[in-house]
Homo-oligomer: A and B are copies of this chain.
Amino acid sequence: MRHVTINDLARRLNLSASTVSRALRDHPDISEQTKERVRAIAAKTNYQPNLIAQSLQTRRSNNIGVIVPEIRNSFFSTVISGIEDLAYESGYTIMVCQSDDTFERETINTRALAANRVAGMLVSVSQETADFTHLKQVLAQGVPIVLFDRVVDQINAPKVVVDDFNGAFQAVTHLIETGRKRIAHLTSAGSLYVAEKRREGYEAALHAHGFAVRPEYIIEGGCHEEDGREGARRLLTLEKPPDGIFAINDPVALGALLYLQDNQVMVPEQVGLVGFSDNPNAVLVRPALTTINQPAYDIGKTAASLLLDILESGTLEHDKTITLETRLVVRGST
């Protein structure tokens, strides 16, 4: 019933715990014969090393903590898949928390992971977070953090992002090239790094092609489908509604698409629409959504590999930022 321990094995073999421990870890000092005896009894009794005890003793952990705003968001669950795959290959296990995009929950999650003495953390910060002491305290304790997607400058840690500026620039340029003259942007309120960069890309593309940035065409809302509906609704109330929309992400774009169609606005004939992410469901809608592909799975793998490198090497380049390329995927909505 209870877990078998090293002492149990030692007793049964008339050996010391030290010897059993060494045999299990294949220490060169131990005779081959002893090793075999130990291995045999370990297998027979289904001995499983207690990683908790091991961690306490060695002060090393094989767990890495992950904090995302929302697990069920397709982008984040794909990132987590990437993280888990790499962690698995390297013998690590991941502890996953969601902040629900609240500061409070992110703080509590951070403490819980720290208390669990994870080897490091992979964090995508919540939309609400403006105070970063919880993360700074983790760093101060010598636990490395790698930020991804929702990164912030205030924390001195390596970051994995996509080229949001350029992606947005591509998206808006594409709308312009397909003849759109009045291009709106559905973005999120607050100060998300990715939102800022995408908005800068939007504005830069307009400027680059001689268009003015018109404040009434920039709608600040949230990041979900319903925000897209609401944004589209507000745009349709304008005296001169836009003929092109660049949405901050795919859920928002899909919400806008459905709202437009429900209100007899034809996409792409009357309004061209571009999202950001290339979620799996971008290809399910009709017209399929033109969007900016963001390699979610690779973001996870890259962030995890960055963290694992730090853990192996013990050194930390806290100013390192890896920027993954985005790619315009043209489908039916433009």
Contact = CB atoms under 8 A, between A and B. Distances in A.
Interface of A: 1-3, 46, 48-53, 55-56, 61, 63, 70-72, 74, 77-78, 80-81, 84-85, 88, 93-98, 105, 108-109, 111-117, 137, 140-142, 254, 258, 261, 280-281, 284-286, 297
Given A49-B115, A51-B116, A56-B52, A72 B78 contact: yes
B3 A141 contact: yes
B50 A71 contact: no
Contact of A95 (B63, B114, B261): B63
B1 A140 contact: yes
Contacts of A63: 95, 116
Given A53-B56, A117-B50, A254-B284, A112 B141 contact: no
The 6 A-B residue pairs whose C-beta atoms are closest, nearest first, are A77-B77, A281-B281, A72-B81, A71-B81, A51-B115, A72-B78
Nearest to A142: B1
Copies of this chain, how many? Answer: 2
Nearest to A76: B77
A93 B77 contact: no
A81 to B, nearest CB: 4
A15 to B, nearest CB: 22
Most chain B CB neighbours (cut-off 10 Å) among A52, A55, A88, A113: A52
A141 to B, nearest CB: 6
Nearest to A140: B1
A85 B102 CA distance: 13
A113 B56 CA distance: 17
A141 B1 contact: yes
Contacts of A1: 140-142
Contact of A81 (B70, B109, B285): B70
Nearest to A117: B52
Nearest to A87: B97
B116 A52 contact: yes
A84 B56 contact: no
A137 to B, nearest CB: 6
A62 B254 CA distance: 39
Nearest to A77: B77
A105 B91 CA distance: 12
Given A51-B116, A77-B80, A93-B112, 12 more contacts: A3-B142, A50-B115, A50-B117, A56-B56, A71-B77, A71-B81, A72-B77, A72-B80, A81-B98, A88-B97, A93-B95, A94-B95
A116 B254 CA distance: 42
A53 B96 CA distance: 21
A19 B98 CA distance: 35
A46 B98 CA distance: 23
Contacts of A97: 84, 88, 93-94
A151 B225 CA distance: 33
Given A115-B48, A116-B52, A94 B93 contact: no
